[in-house]
Amino acid sequence: MTSDSPRNSLLRRAAGGVLRSQQIGIVAVLIALGVALTLAAGSHLDPLSGARVNNFLNAYTLVQMGTDASSFAIMGVGATIVIIAGGIDLSVGAIYALAGVGTAMVLRALGPMAPATTVIVALVTCLSIALLCGLANGLMVIGLGVHPFIITLGTMWILRGLAFVVSRAESILVPTALTSVAKARLGLSAELYPVPLLVMLLVMVVGQLYLSRTVNGRYVFAIGGNLEASRYSGLRVDRIKLGVYMLSGLSAGIAAFLGASFYGSATSSDANGYELYVIAAAVVGGASLIGGKGSSISATLGAILIVMIRQAIRTLHLDQNYEWIIIGGAMIIAVVLDQGGTRLLARRMAAASAVPESTKPTPEVS
């Protein structure tokens, strides 16, 4: 009995930590949806092996879902950092488009190069353009004193327009060296391309480490939770805000590099409407639009959930017009549940801090 007590206590603490985790709710939803899809999707005969394969639970569909979610999730990590800091970035899709066409045009102007040089030049160009866009967003949010919703709504149109003008609405091909990297099979069978999925997971891990293990990450939560208290405590609020918008731009640049490389071309209409999916992924993942709450892991899970909903509609042969209805409903429900949980926590903290009059010590009379 005594020998098992420490082990049982450790297991209970671990179980309690899991149940209190930010991600437990969305993970439960993902598992439930995955099980339901597996049971309802049916199966088909594999033409090569002759084995019966589930229409949902198979390697091709799962990797394809990861590929589809990668852009939303990568940009969702950057957008979540901005949301935690109390801001918002509606321009990530436009940054994606401008960075993609800008990179494709630079590569076309430079002409043939060695494959390794091509990849390095493309990556540096794409990330530089995206960082400059994020820098512009941050400087305007700080310097103009206008709500970031308005600033990034304006830059969304400006950057999308620039991408259209400089590319003349052409679809610009990128060198095959980039496609070879993005579509590297890494030992998997044909038609399975895990690179976007692996990059998504890497960005998720780096984003989570930044938010939870670095001083700057704690500062992001601080200014989102209480801006004035952060100012009075000596934090360089403007510098932190500038940094989060640059990180958001950087995440859009990573997604643009992957997207242009994977699909072999870039155009000014790329990522049109992605900002809605990105913000939805962050909010469904539990990020609070008033700031101070969010997670890189949750944003990634939110993106996967949205893509799984889209996949469910395709797998079950439903009308694809329901996609917008379901995602919109999921976003509203997520926000309502988040606000309800916040109010419940506030009431519990207030009740815990209230001390009954009968328990207060009576002053001594000398």
Q: Is residue 31 part of a domain?
A: no
CATH of the domain at 268: 1.10.3470
Separation CA 363–CA 366 (nearest Å): 10
Separation CA 12–CA 1 (nearest Å): 16
Pairing outcome for strands 52-54 and 265-266? unpaired
Average pLDDT over residues 46-57: 79
Report the Cα 284 to chain-centroid distance in Å.
Answer: 10
Q: Is residue 227 part of a domain?
A: yes
Q: Is residue 66 part of a domain?
A: no
Which structural domain range is residue 127 located in? 73-335
Give the number of domains in the chain: 1
Q: Is residue 306 part of a domain?
A: yes
pLDDT in tens, 97-125: 999 999 999 999 998 899 999 999 999 99
- The yes-or-no verdict on residue 349 having pLDDT over 90 is no
**Beta carbons within 8 Å of 173's beta carbon, 6+ residues apart:** 104, 108, 264, 265
Q: Of 204-208, 237-241, 331-335, 342-346, where does mean pLDDT reach its minimum? A: 342-346
Residue 268: what pLDDT?
92
pLDDT in tens, 2-23: 445 555 555 455 444 444 456 7
Reported as a pLDDT band with limits 50, 70 and 90, residue 261 is very high
Most confident by average pLDDT, 8-17, 243-252, 288-297, 303-312? 243-252
pLDDT in tens, 132-155: 999 999 999 999 989 999 999 999
Task: Give the residue, 22 or 286, on which the prediction is more confident.
Answer: 286
- The yes-or-no verdict on residue 335 having pLDDT over 90 is no
- The yes-or-no verdict on residue 191 having pLDDT over 80 is no
Q: Is residue 58 part of a domain?
A: no
Residue 363: what pLDDT?
52
Q: Is residue 357 part of a domain?
A: no
Average pLDDT over residues 335-349: 68
Q: Is residue 24 part of a domain?
A: no
Q: Is residue 182 part of a domain?
A: yes
Reported as a pLDDT band with limits 50, 70 and 90, residue 303 is very high
Residue 15 C-beta-side C-alpha neighbours within 13 Å: 6
> Which of 326, 302, 227, 273 is CA-nearest to residue 77?
302
Separation CA 110–CA 208 (nearest Å): 37
